[in-house]
A and B are shown apart, each in its own frame.
Chain A
Amino acid sequence: MRPYTFAQPRSVREALRGAGPDTAFLAGGTTLVDLMKLEVVTPERVVDINRLPLDGITLDHKGLHIGALERMSDVAADRRVRENYPMVAQALELSASAQLRNMASIGGNLLQRTRCGYFRDVSTPCNKREPGSGCSALEGINRGHAVLGTSDDCIASHPSDLAVPLVALSTVVHLASARGTRSVPLDTFYTLPGATPEVENVLRPNELITGITVPRSPWAAHSLYVKVRDRQSYEFALTSAAVALGMRGRTITSARVAAGGVGTRPWRLTAVERALTGRPATAATFEAAVVRAADGAQPREHNAFKPALLRRTLVRALTELQESR
C-alpha cells in the first residue's frame, strides 16, 4: 500500500470540495482496501464517505429508493425489498459472505472492480489497470471472463450480482459532483471496454453515487435471481440470470431479463424479453426465447461453455419462477 492522506467529511459538499484527480471515496472498503493492498489502485487521497447522509430505504409510488451507503445486508433484509423486489434481495444474499455484506455498500457494490486475476496481479500486463500494457487474459486463463461486450483489449466480466436485477428493472443511479446532480439509467451508466477498458462507467472524476431508484413495476414482485457457480457459496457467478414476469393467467404480458457473469457489464436481454412477451409460460416458450440469448458471444479458450450455460441458466430461472407461482 502507498501512503495517502485521509479525510472524513460530514457533508456531500465537503466531500466533493477537496476531491482531486487521485482521490478515492471509501465506503465499505471491501473492494477499495483490497485493491490498495495489492497496489492495483494507489490513491493519494482517501475520502471516507461513511459519515455522509447517504442512507435510507424508502418505497413510494415512484419506486424503491436506496441510499448509496446502505449496506448490502440491510437492503437484503428489508421487508419491502423482499416483497416487492425479491430478485434484488436474492442477488444480494447470494453475493460474497455475511461479513462482507455487513460492510459493503450499495454504491460500492455497483462500482466494484472486475475479479480478473490479471487485473489484480500487478506483475502481469493488463490494459484496464495499465492502459496499453496488453491483456493477459486473451491468451491466459479466461474461464471466468466475459463473452459478451468484449473487445480485443479487455474481456473482463462485470462482477456485481446486484447490478443484474437492477439493470433488468431499469434502475436509475443518482450522482452528485461539484457541478451539480444528475441521474443516469444504470444500463447506460456502464460502458463497454472498447479500446479504453480503464473506463468502466460514465462517472466523472470525483462524482459521487448518492443513491439509486428502482422504478415501481407490476412484474418486479414476481421475480427471481439464479446464480450458477462451482462452489455453493462465496464465489462470483459463472453465469447468473435475473428474471421478472408480468402474467395474465398463463400468458406472459411483460418480461424483464438480464444476465451476469457473461458480459463486460450487466447484460440486459431485451430480445429474450420480447420473445417471451405475449406467449404462454411454458417450457417450449422458454426454450425458444433463449435460443439467441448469447448471440454475438465471443468465447475464448476456457469460457466457451458460457453461451450454453447462459441459455440453461435462463431456462432454469424462468422455470423456477413459473413453478413458484
Chain B
Amino acid sequence: MTSSKTHVQTPKIEMTNVHKSFGTKDVLRGVDLTVQPGESMVIIGGSGTGKSVTLKCVLGLIKPDSGTIKIDGTDTTTIDRKDHDTLMGKFGMLFQGGALFDSLPVWENVAFGLIHGHKMSKEEARAVAIEKIKAVGMGERVADLYPAELSGGMQKRISLARAIATNPDIIFFDEPTTGLDPIMADVINDLIVKCVKDLGATGLTITHDMASARKIADKVAMIHEGQIIWVGDIKDLDNSGNEYVDQFIHGRADGPIKKHSDLAA
C-alpha cells in the first residue's frame, strides 16, 4: 500500500506553518502537512489536539490566523467566495458528528451534492443515492426515512455515503468508524480503500481506530499540541522511534503525552 510515485509532482494538499487560535487558546501552532495525489493519509493524535480544526482549515470553513494552504498548487486562504464554492466541488467531507440535514430525507441528503452541485435530475440522483446507501451497508428502505429516525452508526454511514456520492477528487473522513460495530467498521474501511484506490481520489482520514488506520493508510501523520510531530509510511509506524507515536499506538497511559494534554493550553 505504499506510494510508489517518485517523480516530482504538485502536492494535492500542502499546508505550511498554519496557525489557529480561538481566543487565548492556541489550537494549531504551525501545522505542516503535505498529501500527494492518490495518497491515503491518516492523521492520529489525542482528543482535542486540533485534528478536526486542521481539516476545517483546509476546507476554508475556519480561517487560519496565518500560514498557507495550497490545493493543487493554488493558495486557498486568499480566494474569494465564488472560487471557494467551485473549489468545494472537488471535496467530499464526512463530518465527525455526521452533520446530516435533518429537514431532508436520507436519500436527499446523499443526493444533495448531485442535485445542487452537479445539477443532476432528481430521479437520476435518487438512483445514485440508493446505490451509495447500499454501498455503506444499508437497504433501500432507509432512503425515505429522516436522519433523526436512524441510529448514530447509521447516520454516520449515511453521512459517509453523502461524502462520496459525487465521486470527489479529495475526500476527508473525520472518524469514519467511531460508533460502528467492528464488522461494519471493516466494511467502511474497505469502502474507503475502494474510494481512494479504485477511484483514484486523495484521502485524508482522522481516526483513533488503529486497526482502521493500518488498513486504509499509505502514510500516517501524528499531531500533538497543534503540530505534526511525525509523518511516515504506515509500514514504519511500529518502529517510528518516536516515543509519542509509540505511546499513542499502544494506548499507554504513561509516557510523554500527559493525560490532560488537551487541557494544557
A and B pair up: no
